[in-house]
């Protein structure tokens, strides 16, 4: 089991809507994430910067960030595009912060 962490950006003023949508996550999306081997998935918001920090346990080197070609995941990205910073194709960019104890950002690993 490996733990990874990454960050994404929420648009200003969208915290409540983000929480509402995730409180009602689509069952088919939740199923795909679990089938990929993701567990203990948590997302935290830094309200000062609108930065979302996510961490998850993964197995077999898979994770939710490897599901970009899945049509359900693509629909979710499109659904979230009005409240998150995205690319033109609704892809939600992220920055990997750590993976299996290896830091990709100096401020995160103390």
How sure is the predictor about 39, in pLDDT bands with cuts at 50, 70 and 90?
confident
Please provide the distance, in angstroms rounded to a whole number, between the alpha carbons at the two ends of the chain.
21
Q: Domain 2-101, what architecture?
A: 2-Layer Sandwich (3.30)
Q: pLDDT digit string (tens) for 48-103?
A: 999 999 998 888 655 555 577 789 989 999 999 999 998 888 788 888 887 876 77
Instruction: Supply the pTM of this predicted model.
Output: 0.82
CA-based nearest residue to 4, from 68, 95, 110, 67: 95
- Specify whether 78 is catalytic: no
Taking Cα atoms as reference points, which of 94, 34, 85 lies closest to residue 65? Answer: 94
Of residues 22, 31, 34, 78, which has the active-site annotation? 22
């Amino acid at each position: 089991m490996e733990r990874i962490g990454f960050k994404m950006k929420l648009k200003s003023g969208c915290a409540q809507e983000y929480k509402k949508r995730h409180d009602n996550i689509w069952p088919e999306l939740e199923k795909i994430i679990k089938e990929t081997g993701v567990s203990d998935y948590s997302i935290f918001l830094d309200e000062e910067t609108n930065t979302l920090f996510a961490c998850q346990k993964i197995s077999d080197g898979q994770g939710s960030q490897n599901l970009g070609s899945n049509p359900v995941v693509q629909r979710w990205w499109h659904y979230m595009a009005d409240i998150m910073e995205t690319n033109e194709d609704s892809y939600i960019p992220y920055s990997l912060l750590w993976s299996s104890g290896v830091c990709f950002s100096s401020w995160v690993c103390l």
